[in-house]
Every structure is written in structure tokens, then in C-alpha cells.
Chains A and B, each alone.
Chain A
């Protein structure tokens, strides 16, 4: 068992998240897939921080978490306002910029 396995696991999780973004139609589930991709990148950052013996990767992962929290708040508010006007949370229904 080496650190490589963590990186391979992170790559697979990232791919599953990306495929989920492509496949799923519910905007909230698409959002969750994006969160999974961010999480897998965080795992990569933490692994490389340990491998190289510097803490910059951990600080970077911390910033990713902060940005992800802000992104989720705004994104979910957008989904809610879209749902209010269109009565649907499907990404297929939101095909116009207005209304």
C-alpha cells in the first residue's frame, strides 16, 4: 500500500462525479456531483501535502472547502428561484436565460 492508491481513488471519485454531472437531470443532484469532484480533489491535495512534506496542500484544501461552501449557498439559492418560476428542478427545463 502506497500513497498512489489514495490518488487513484481520488481520480475514480472525480470521474464518477463528472459522469454524474453529465448523466443526471436533477439540478440538485448535479450539484452534489460537483461537490464530489471538489472532495476528490481535496483528497489529492492532502495526499500530496503528506508526500511532499509541506502544509500548503492542506491550506489549499481548506480554501477549496470555503469556496465550496459559498458556491453551494449561492447555487442552491439559484436552484430555488428557478424552481419558483418554472416549478421544476430539472436542468433540461431551464433552457432560457430569462423566465
Chain B
């Protein structure tokens, strides 16, 4: 035994602990960074919908980890319940609340963000190092003995319906309470007859300053995107046509004849048989015709 080996408890511990298979190692080092990237992307993306999609990425990687670690039932539940149901619920609420209700950048507590970052890094270092030290020689007993011949799902079911039967039954009470609570919280009570008819709505609309609809986006412009505002006849964008939650983009105007020199005679503005370009050329022709 070399003196160096005696000085490195880490290496000694690594020798005693059980090495995992090569396939698992590859899967971990591929999916571990993916899970980390998903978590970081969720915290750092400004848009809440992007946050939800990043979290889906993390949850799917964790589901693969469960399957690798002899928990195929939990892996399936992770994909079906977490990514399938819970995240869809999140996206539903996001769409109901409105995508434009994004995060405010204002710090209500001074230096809170820096403090949280420092705290987070310190906590991660402390817990990570502590766990790494404490579980250095952690062996892998494996679940083959417990699961027996039947595999994972019957073994989990057996445990669930014997030792954890009471907890399982209490879970049903929890779920029914949650369902009723959500219904109570999300329900809006309306007086019967308080709904306004179409006639009343129409009258109320004509009493306002603008009985017509708002101008649609992209009128007089070379784009029909929602972000392209409608242009007024003098070229300014119409404020009424700005979409909520989207920054209005500058739009390229259609070339329009402006001024006496290009329009020529008043009749010429109605159009000619040979369409003319605005830039340069048609001015001479208009003068020729005059």
C-alpha cells in the first residue's frame, strides 16, 4: 500500500462503493445536465410559459432516472401525472391568467436577488458536499431481493395495501377535499337574471365613444402580424390597434404617392393605366403629361 493511497480517503471510499453499470453512467451524465439545464431555464426565463416547458424537460429526465433506478412504476407515474396532468394544469392556468402578466423586474426588497443567489450557491455547496461526504461508501443493495419474481409493481402494490393502507385511505380524503376546494375557490356565483342580454349590451356599446370595433392590425401596412399596428393615413401607427402584451413592431409602408408632384392632376390620383413607381421615375412622366 502506497502512502498516497492512505492519504486519500476519497479514493479509498470509491473503491469500497459499488460501481454502477456503464449504461446507467452514460444515461446519468447525459440526462443529469439536461435536468439541470431545465431547472435553470425555468428559474431564468422571463416568460412563464417557457418556464413551464423547461420544467417539463426536467421532469421527463427525472422520470427516466426513476426507470433506471428500478422504479418503473414511479417513472410512468412521473410522466403521466406530473408532466401529463400537473404541467397541463399549469399551462391552463397560465393561459387563463394571461401570458402578458409576466414577472415584474422591480425588487421590492433591496438586494434580495443577490442575497437569494448567494444563499442558493452556499446551500447547494453545503448540502452537496455534505451528502457527498456522508454517502461516500454507500453500497447498492438493490431491489431484486425485495421485489422477488413478480417485479416492481406487484411489490409496490403489496407494500401500499398492507403497511401503508391507512395512509392510502387518508389520501382519498385528501384528494376529495382538494377537488371540492378547487371547485369552491374557482366557482363564481352569479345572481340569476344578472346576465346582460344582447340588446342591453348593444345599447351600452352605442353610449360609449367608440361604437365600432377597434382597427385591426396591419391595415395599410405590409404585414398582417398581430404585432404590426395599423397605420393611419398620415403614416403614424394607430394606438387603438396595438395588441395587448405585444410590443408593436415598426412596419414597412406600402409606397404611396404623396404630394402634388407625384400625384399630378387631381384625376391622376384616381389611378392610371400604367402603374408608376413612387421613387423618382414617375415625377418626370407626370410633368410630361402636364
Contacts and interface: CB of A to CB of B under 8 A. Distances in A.
A1 B32 CA distance: 12
A74 to B, nearest CB: 5
Contacts of A23: 43, 112-113, 116-117
Interface of B: 14, 17-20, 24-25, 28-29, 32, 35-36, 39-40, 42-43, 48, 51-52, 55, 58-59, 62, 65-66, 69-71, 73-74, 77-78, 81-82, 85-86, 89-90, 93-94, 96-97, 101-104, 106, 108, 112-113, 116-117, 119-121, 123-124, 127-128, 131-132, 135-136, 138-143, 145-147, 152, 155-156, 159-160, 163-164, 167, 171, 174-175, 177-179, 181-182, 185-186, 188
Nearest to A8: B128
Contact of B185 (A17, A66, A81): A81
Interface footprint category on A: 35 or more
Given A61-B71, A66-B171, 7 more contacts: A28-B90, A29-B103, A58-B73, A65-B78, A70-B177, A73-B89, A90-B103
Given A12-B36, A28-B90, A50 B69 contact: yes
A86 to B, nearest CB: 11
Interface string A1-20: 11111111101111111111
Interface of A: 1-9, 11-20, 22-26, 28-29, 31-33, 35-36, 39, 42-43, 46-47, 49-56, 58-59, 61-63, 65-74, 76-81, 83-84, 88-90, 92
